[in-house]
Amino acid sequence: MMRNESAFLKDCVITIVADDYENFEMVLKETKRLAASRRIKISENEVAEALQDAIADGSVCAYSLSPFPPHSTKVEYNADQLYGLWYYATPIGKSAAKGIPELSSES
């Protein structure tokens, strides 16, 4: 994957989780849709890597959500729990969120 494609994927991931907690299924679906709009074919693994990059640089955190207080608990990201965790942008991520036109036109 080209450098600008991985930057685009990371931007997608950060922007998707900038407004609310999202699970990986939603991040994957939305990122694939945005990539397809640019004729970029991506894999689940590439989206997972973009999410890991965003977590590593402090743009996104992983959470465990519960119907009982505390409703959200920040947890250590674990690739084995990719689909069991929820993701939300940190203040750094929120300021980095690009407001990708394809995303902002739908809100």
The pLDDT value recorded for residue 73 is 97
Q: How far is 89 from 27, CA to CA, in rounded Å?
A: 12
pLDDT tens track for 23-38: 999 999 999 999 999 8
Cβ atoms of 85 and 60 within 8 Å: the answer is no
Q: How far is 30 from 23, CA to CA, in rounded Å?
A: 11
pLDDT tens track for 74-85: 999 999 999 999
* Mean pLDDT of the 57-84 span: 96
pLDDT at residue 101 greater than cutoff 70 = no
Task: Give me the chain's average pLDDT, please.
Answer: 91
Cβ atoms of 45 and 28 within 8 Å: the answer is no
Domains of the chain and CATH, by start: 3-93 (1.10.10.10)
- Residue 5: other Cβ atoms inside 10 A: 16
The pLDDT value recorded for residue 105 is 43
This model's pTM is above 0.85: yes
